[in-house]
Chains A and B, each alone.
Chain A
Amino acid sequence: MRFRQRIRTANWTAYAMVLPAVLIIAVIAVWPLIRTFWISMYDLRLNDPARNELNVSYGINAEKYANSMPLLLSLLNKEAEAASGKSHTELRELADRLARADAGLREDAALQTRLDRINALLDDFKPVPADMQNIHIDKTGAERMRSELSGIGQSLQTLKEQGALSRADEAIGLAKAVQQSFTVPNFVGFGHYARLLSEPRLWEALDHTALFTAIAVALEMLAGLLIALLMNRAFRGRGLVRAAVLIPWATPTAVSAMIWHFLYDGQNGIVAKLFAEIGLIPDMGALLSTRAWALFAVVLADVWKTAPFVALLLLAGLQTISASLYEAAQMDGASRWKQFVHVTVPMLKPTFFVALLFRTLDAFRVFDLIYVLTGGGPANSTESISIYAYKTMFAELDFGAGSALSVIVFACVLLISIVYVKLLGGEVLSRRIG
């Protein structure tokens, strides 16, 4: 009896203890990932008022409407008064049509009061709160308004060509602005994926990322292994060497990228100078300005930063190999090389693969280094897939396509993990948890 109760309390305590972690992970990591996928099915653009929300239905941006419709109305009335003859009647008619459409919309009392309040705010230099801006309207109403306005826009274009308008561009622009204040549903399904996959830029970015990952990780593992083997013995100053090795790891990538930027500088960079003098590169300027050498420059900076770190991991692995194994091998008369192949390699393998997996995943999502060092240039030749996604989202504010790219990054990372686990066995991963 007591015992059972004990277990049950422990159980509830256990849940209570993991709950905060579960909540945080669910809300800030898992949910956003699902949401990213969701957003990637919409044409979401923060720089286009008609498409800056996930709309499954029609709506109107009241602020934009309040800022453009009255201007257009008064402009048309003015133009109509100024014009004569046929264009006068045409303009009069257009102005009436517009006024009717406006009045039709304002029949909705809620909309009318909302517009009044927004106008008052605007006259008073006050910002319009976000929740007041968007109002849902039904599909037929929205479609009617949009077609009405595009009709008015076309008539204005014709009138402009006839030379009947004194402020033609203004009127046409305003008509466009009013039209744009209506929002349309922007669900596109897998549209972004279809378009992105058919464009070369994505494949090029994947190419660069894969190439970078393969070369950088291979060099890092190799260099790391050599350093680890070198350091796996007692020698004076070993602590100092270990500390020195940690410093590149402890420097933020963005900062180390800035350091390398300085060393690579085409006019005053010491590394550029050195490479040019030993004839490795054709001239000092080549490092950051030519396709192949820019990639080389990025890889070198990455190897410098992470090879020492890999070495530390492998060194720790080496040190767990018991000395008695080597002694036994020596007794059997095995050469140093044989000892390495038959003792070191199999014993170090698990550690090596864990490091390999995590380095691969890290390298594949490379962002900071490239962002600071080359910005993806020259001619997009070092643009990684993360950089491409970032630029799409935050420079072009195209969150839909950017999210689709992020999902593609995620899919690649998932694929890499699956391949590794299939090849190396699930043990690689579970060991990580100790």
Chain B
Amino acid sequence: MSKKWWSAGSAVTLAGGLLAGCGGTGDDVNPAADTASNGQASASEQTQAGGGQPASKVKIVFGQGADQTDGTKKLVEAFEAKHPEIDVDVREFPNDSTQMHDQLVTILGGKSPELDVVNLDVVWPAEFAQAGFLLPLDRYIQNDGLDLSQYLEGGVNAGNYNGQQWALPRYNNSGLLYYRTDLVKEVPKTWDELLKQAEELKGKGGTQYGYVSQGKQYEGLTVGFTELVGAYGGTILDENGRSAVNSPEALKGLKKLIEIYTSPAVPSNINTFTEKETLNAFIEGRAVFARHWPALYAQANDPSKSKVVGKVGIAPLPAGDARSAAALGGWLGAISKYSEHPKEAWEFLKFLVSEEGEKIIAVNSTQTPTYLKLFDDAEVQQASPLFASRDFVNGLKSAVPRAITPDYAKISGLIQVEVSKAIAGQQTPEQALANLEKQIDQNAAK
């Protein structure tokens, strides 16, 4: 009896396996094999398009980091209302931008058509364009008469490489200093003041940390490094893409960065902090100061998540002895070269950067628009006090861009390794910069 059962079971499995292995279809002996062979590639379309008009609708996929606000949802709804013939699916990526980069590169490097429109970090367009992953947009911009002078210049430039426009700016960011208005009397103007106050105020008002920022070995560390180096008057690359990092100014910046990250005012595990941990620490009321992007503001004032509603202040980042330098962050929209629906993708991209599209994101997700007129819009101004502040908008215009180079990912990786080693005390700051310079130039020479 039991033997029979065994053999019948395995015979079915074998048959199912064979059929599926040969790409056979429509065999109902084995339900598992059946679903499996139908499940290839087209299954998602079948399941997801189910219920709508079957034939004429085109589905495009928009890839971006996970959005915990309603912004993206509303944006897609607004677009679909206007273009009933296009369905937009949002594919979420990790928000750790290094991870998102690696995944995107694996997808696009494999020439996969699975993405149509992609959100790119401000530092990626050069690399992606050089790699041939993106559709050049010039033809379409010209045909549809898009006026790029209406946009924040830094953002437009970030999408331009080798004279062609590969991506359009959706929202721009610059680093900001967040502080607790109930604890901080006088907003620190320099990094030294910040450090002093952070050490003094740590522990007051239920806090555990004086200052939190992004210290993990990932893109955030490159941003922090760029800001400190900029604040003390240094730069990372010169105009020709050669290293300029081994300079006294950059050394001052790096030393200050190390001083901050090894101070008792920051969490002892600051080197695991990304934007997530920073945000958590701040909205749970555990930190006095935090360095973050404009998007923190909405979440810090959301009573369902935050314990510090109404006690959130924002200020420009502190200055070094040269200036206050906030790194230009932000995201651009672009079209994958491997998209099977570039026409629809362009419609969607155009909507993303339109006045209407950027407004939805500005109002719902407090992301800073790049379409300049929006800063005069009453609703936008209401969404965040930042958007109403001339200083902020001007600051954005002067934010330091990170190096525009197709080798950005590589160079940023080198910075992350050398700087985190220096913070960990495994090498002196001088050694870190010397190593960095050597490696950047070696890489450029290749």
Contacts and interface: CB of A to CB of B under 8 A. Distances in A.
Interface in A338-378: 375, 377-378
B421 interface: yes
Contacts of A173: 161-164
Nearest to B337: A127
A270 to B, nearest CB: 16
B101 A395 contact: yes
A344 to B, nearest CB: 36
A170 B163 contact: yes
Nearest to B286: A267
B420 interface: yes
Given A173-B163, A379-B421, A395 B102 contact: yes
B267 A285 contact: yes
B338 A378 contact: no
A182 B409 CA distance: 24
A285 B281 CA distance: 14
Interface string A34-76: 0000000000001111001000000000001001100100010
* Chain A binding surface, main DSSP class: helix
Contacts of A377: 216-218, 420
Interface string A177-213: 1001000000000000000000000000000000000
A49 to B, nearest CB: 5
Report the interface size class on chain B: 35 or more
Contacts of B409: 395-396
B38 interface: no
A291 B424 contact: yes
Contacts of A380: 217, 417
A394 to B, nearest CB: 5
B303 interface: no
A283 B420 contact: no
A388 to B, nearest CB: 12
A385 interface: no
B136 A67 contact: yes
A378 B163 contact: no
A118 B443 CA distance: 34
Interface string B261-288: 0000001111110000100100000000
A27 interface: no
A88 interface: no
B131 A46 contact: yes
Contacts of A378: 216-217, 271-272, 420, 424
A174 B424 contact: no
B82 to A, nearest CB: 20
A285 B208 CA distance: 14
Given A46-B109, A46-B131, A130-B111, A289 B163 contact: no
Nearest to B423: A379
* Chain B binding surface, main DSSP class: helix
A254 interface: no
Given A47-B130, A285-B272, A379 B217 contact: yes
A288 B131 contact: no
Contacts of A127: 337-340, 342
A286 interface: yes
A334 B364 CA distance: 80
Highest count of chain B CB atoms <10 Å: which of A176, A394, A395, A396:
A395
Contacts of A180: 130
A379 B420 contact: yes
Contacts of A397: 105, 109, 131
A172 interface: yes
A375 B219 CA distance: 13
Interface string A136-164: 00000000000000000000000000000
B109 A394 contact: yes
Highest count of chain B CB atoms <10 Å: which of A68, A127, A167:
A127
A49 B131 contact: yes
B429 to A, nearest CB: 14
A169 interface: yes
Interface string A394-410: 11110000000000000
A79 B280 CA distance: 54
Given A174-B163, A177-B163, A289 B272 contact: yes
A12 interface: no
B343 A125 contact: yes
Given A125-B343, A167-B163, A284-B269, 19 more contacts: A46-B109, A47-B109, A47-B130, A47-B133, A71-B138, A123-B139, A127-B338, A169-B163, A289-B270, A289-B272, A290-B424, A377-B216, A378-B420, A379-B217, A379-B426, A391-B102, A394-B105, A395-B101, A395-B102
27 contacts: A47-B127, A47-B130, A47-B133, A48-B131, A49-B132, A68-B162, A71-B163, A125-B342, A127-B339, A127-B342, A167-B163, A170-B164, A173-B162, A173-B163, A177-B163, A266-B269, A285-B272, A286-B269, A377-B217, A378-B217, A378-B424, A379-B217, A379-B420, A391-B102, A394-B102, A395-B102, A395-B106
The 4 closest A-B pairs by CB, nearest first: A285-B269, A173-B163, A47-B131, A170-B163
